[in-house]
Amino acid sequence: MSSSAITTNFIIILVTFIFAFFFVAAEFALVQTRSSQLEDAIQKGEGNKKKLQRALKMVNNLNEYLSTTQVGTSIAGIILGWIGESTIEYLLIEVLGVAHISAGGSSGLHALSSIVGVLLLTYLEVVLTEIVPKNISIDMPMKMLMLVVTPLRFFHVAVYPFVWLLNVSASGIVRLMGMKPADSENEVFSQSEILRLSKSSIKGGDMEPDDVIFMQRAFELNDKVAKDIMVDRTSLYVVDITDKVKDVIKDYLQQGFSRFPVVADNDKDKVLGYVYAYDIVRQNQVDGDVGISRILRSVNTVPETMPIQDILSKMIKKQTPIVIVVDEYGGTSGIVTDKDIYEELFGTVKDEIDDVSDEYIVKNEDGSYNVSGKTTLYDFERYFRTDVSEFQKSDIITVGGYLIEKFPNLQKGSTFDMDNFHFEVAEFDHGFVNWFKVTVDKKAVTKQDNLASLTDVDDLKDK
């Protein structure tokens, strides 16, 4: 092999290394870049719009362009194997001076040089054309994609027939195996995956903890129905249709509620509408002796199983801040207000009339908790950051209701254990447990003790 041939081969090897580097970098840049990043850049006018649009097309047709990069990588590998191995083998033989070695020795040295040449070429190929471009593309995918997008487009056009043939052949083989070919456009993420990615974004500084908290609450809200957040009928304060405005304004001053459901015959199952505090005050200034029927507003009813999002849509459509929740028999189960829905997203908001003592779970100085029987099973589990195995099997809404069903002979002072919780009936009245005293095993984790794992968004915010 002449010196000119050696020089030519080295140039070919160098160029092939560059091409292999290019295709591997392009492959990882395509995989690492999200279409949303490119859309944001286009919308904000950042960078070359034409390149961004081309890159967006490539990312949206990922399978096709990944096949293009794989074709390029394969071609580069074939060239390196064809020219590189023989060239390095020849150089090694020349360096070792085999020209003066016997035929048998020459044959052995050829074999040794061939093995060393393959190992050396493989090492250089893996490091320079695989690991290095991969790391660069993962570290700066957008910048790398902008560098390779134009030449990759031209190469794609040149080899498109071959790429098309490869994709069709591969899809056919996959279908013959009884599977469905991958479609990058149908890639979806579950709620847990979205939250996990979002939490990673917090650690990377791309998102605020509050953003993920609201996202998690929105997902939870989407899974809830009316009976999960309603004010139950036992806590419902109503006024009768025969009451006068001057009487109802006393109720307003005593109770502090801004809206009162209006019923007939003092029967909570006969809700006629509701009255608004502003209307009550204004009418009382004019004539407080008239009946509240004059200022009665209509109210809509929803079933217990209606999703919260549908209730909110109905409130917006009907322009009403309150709905009556009815059970399967048409009886009143409770009410849902716009505030109840907003608090599911933004957390509990105490206004001027809210009583702090109304909290359903109160921590005592000795580490135990006073838990209201009206606490929902969901709120109990969320507060203590745990899943109570027994609760998962029940359709009952409140802790009190569940425990009365499970232990029908409950009375004041009764005690029992459930998972990591020890319950003691603290207040029992007319067949219903108003309050429990709950002691938590040390293995159980509570929000207030701030011992939850860092996978929870509240802790990401606190930390």
Write out pLDDT tens, residues 114-163: 677 678 778 888 898 899 999 999 989 999 999 999 999 999 999 999 88
Same domain, residue pair 63 and 11? yes
What pLDDT was estimated at residue 46?
Answer: 83
Number of structural domains in the chain? 4
Sheet holding 259-264, edge to edge: 239-240, 259-264, 267-276
Q: Is residue 351 domain-resident?
A: no
The total of other beta-carbon atoms located within 10 Å of residue 263's CB is 20
Task: For residues 73-79, give the mean pLDDT.
Answer: 89
Find tokens 């020795």 and name the residue: 105
pLDDT in tens, 19-53: 999 999 999 999 988 888 888 888 888 888 899 99
Evaluate the CA torsion angle 152, 157, 163, 167 in order and state its sign.
positive
Q: Which residue has the tokens 């009451």?
A: 243
**Confidence bin at 103 (pLDDT 50/70/90):** very low
Per-state percent for the chain, helix, strand, coil, to nearest 5: 60, 15, 25
Same domain, 39 and 176: yes
The Cα 378–Cα 387 span in angstroms is 9
In 160-290, the DSSP E strands lie at 231-232, 239-240, 259-264, 267-276
Highest mean pLDDT among 172-181, 213-222, 266-275: 266-275
Assess if residue 282 is contained within a domain: yes
82 and 52 within one domain? yes
Higher per-residue pLDDT: 114 or 321: 321
Is 352 among the domain residues? no
Q: Are residues 396 and 308 in the same domain?
A: no
What's residue 393's pLDDT?
74
The CA-to-CA distance between both ends of the chain, in Å, stands at 67
Does residue 295 sit within a domain?
A: yes
Q: Does position 84 have pLDDT exceeding 90, yes or no?
A: no
Residues 11 and 56 both lie in one domain: yes
H-run or E-run covering 423: strand 421-429
Q: Name the pLDDT band for 264 (thresholds 50, 70, 90).
A: very high
Q: Assess whether 332 and 381 both reside in one domain.
A: no
- Which pLDDT does position 355 carry in this prediction? 46
49: which strand partners?
none
Mean pLDDT of 215-225: 85
Considering the domain architecture, whether residues 216 and 303 belong to the same structural domain is answered as no
Q: Is residue 353 part of a domain?
A: no
Whether 19 and 163 share a structural domain: yes
For residues 118 and 25, state if they share a domain: yes
pTM: 0.52
CA separation for the pair 185, 62 (Å, rounded): 8
Same structural domain, 171 and 215: no
Identify whether the C-beta of residue 295 lies closer than 8 Å to the C-beta of residue 279. yes
Task: Look at residue 145 and tell me if it is in a domain.
Answer: yes
Q: What pLDDT shows up at residue 290?
A: 93
CATH code where residue 366 lies: 3.30.465.10
Which of 307, 322, 346 is a domain's end point? 346
The chain-wide mean pLDDT, for the chain, equals 81
Of 109 and 81, more confident? 81
d(CA 51, CA 29): 14
Same domain, 292 and 330: yes
Give exposure, 378-417, as e/b (b: 16+ Cβ within 10 Å): bbbeebbbbebeebeeeeebbbbbbbbeeeeebeeeeeee
**What is the 8-class DSSP label of residue 180?**
P
Supply the CATH number for residue 278's domain.
3.10.580.10
Do 237 and 324 belong to one domain?
yes
Percent of the chain with pLDDT over 70: 84
**pLDDT single digits (tens) 345-358:** 877 665 555 544 44
Q: Which residues contact 427 (CB under 8 A, 6 or more apart)?
A: 412, 433, 434, 435
Q: Is residue 35 part of a domain?
A: yes
Q: Give the domain-ending residue among 173, 202, 222.
A: 222
Closest among 27, 23, 28, 33 to 66, alpha carbons compared: 27
Instruction: Confirm if 222 and 320 have CB atoms less than 8 A apart.
Output: no
Domain boundary at 186, 206, 239, which?
186
Q: Which of 90-104, 220-234, 265-279, 402-416 has the highest mean pLDDT?
A: 265-279
The pLDDT of residue 379 is above 70 = yes
Domain span including residue 252: 226-346
Residue 354 forms part of a structural domain:
no
CB 375 within 8 A of CB 432: no
